[in-house]
Amino acid sequence: MMNAPLGIICHGGAGTIDDKAAYAAGLTEAIDEGYRLLRQSANAMEAVVAAVRIMEDNPLFNAGTGSDLTIEGLIEMDASIMTQDGRFGGVAGIWGVKNPILVAEKVMTDTDHLLLSGFGATEFARRMGFEEYNVITERALTRLQRVTDHGSKYFHKQNQQRFPSGLPPASADTTSETHTGTVGAVARDKHGSIAAATSSGGIVGRMRGRVGDAAILGAGTFAGLSGAVSCTGHGEEIMRRSLARDIVGRMETVPASTAMVLVVAEARQRKVAFGAIGFDARGGICYGHTTPDMAYGYKVNERVFLFTEEKQKPR
């Protein structure tokens, strides 16, 4: 195991990305920090938490600072982390904290639970010493305004007089045409241990209380003996098909790259807008997506790669 590949792969969301250079720069910062920790003998869990935290602090991404808003203009964030030995921690619908992934880590390490949601998650964060923090940005407000100008189908049903009939659905319902910005990381440490983490600010203009795949074990995040995966994209479809667990499950019999190609092909056939990254237990790396773009990059045994360097395709 000591000679096995050491590395980290991160994603910054799937969809259509206009400013690829900015996303590449944000990914580079996260990858470099995660890899630095791995080189200093940090474990895989520590590396993915550090990488995701950096992306949560970057308002470019839809996670932590810069999270998208519900139709009422509220913040409800989801995040989770899972290790190869089956440990898991997640938060759903949390608000008022800077880094949901750090709270998810505390759920894993300091409780007997797997997932805390809503007020309970936020209350737990306060007990753990996480200070109140406002993550709303002008970008998020502008994105919500575009949705409400077009009329969210959810909000429209409950507020018939606010939005005239016949308006097109909100961009929240066309995730394949917009960049989601959800972030995630998967790492493999020098001992061969693997971990995955995912964090998301949700779909802009969603109903209050909606929970996405980033908080759900097996959907947006999964790690097992054969590998680990973090997903991004249309959360409802990712949850419906347990895509992270599906990819990891296939790693039991085929390399990571083959597992990814198979799942991406099936998802594309079903018109599921998603992307994913991962490692298998043998050190094989994989990435793939059905959307026009996915922001991703990795550093493995000093080799660095960013999605801007070549045409994206499943690997």
Q: What is the pLDDT of residues 14-39, one digit of tens each?
A: 999 989 999 999 999 999 999 999 99
Q: What does pLDDT average to over the chain?
A: 89
Query: Which residues are bridge partners to 279 per DSSP?
Result: 228, 285
- 263 token code pair: 């799942």
Q: Say yes or no to pLDDT of 256 above 50.
A: yes
Q: Is 203 left (phi over 0), alpha (psi -120 to 50) or beta?
A: beta
pLDDT of residue 236: 96
Per-residue pLDDT tens digits for 144-201: 998 887 554 544 444 443 333 333 333 333 333 455 679 999 999 999 999 999 999 9
What whole-number distance in Å separates Cα of residue 218 and Cα of residue 164? 39
Lowest mean pLDDT among 63-72, 260-269, 303-312: 303-312
pLDDT of residue 160: 40
Q: Say yes or no to pLDDT of 312 above 50.
A: no
Per-residue pLDDT tens digits for 58-67: 999 999 998 9
List domains and CATH numbers for the chain. 7-307 (3.60.20.30)
pLDDT of residue 178: 53
| Beta carbons of 70 and 205 less than 8 angstroms apart | yes
Per-residue pLDDT tens digits for 214-245: 999 999 999 999 999 999 999 999 999 999 99
Residue whose C-alpha is closest to residue 121's, from 98, 108, 103: 103
pLDDT of residue 181: 76
Percent of the chain at pLDDT above 90?
Answer: 83
The answer, as to whether pTM is greater than 0.85, is yes
Average pLDDT over residues 99-110: 98
Residues annotated as catalytic are 182
Per-residue pLDDT tens digits for 107-151: 999 999 999 999 999 999 999 999 999 999 998 999 899 888 755
pLDDT of residue 149: 74
Listing DSSP states for 222-257 in one string gives EEETTEEEEEEE-HHHHHHHTHHHHHHHHTTTS-HH
pLDDT of residue 311: 61
Percent of the chain at pLDDT above 70?
Answer: 87
Average pLDDT over residues 83-94: 98
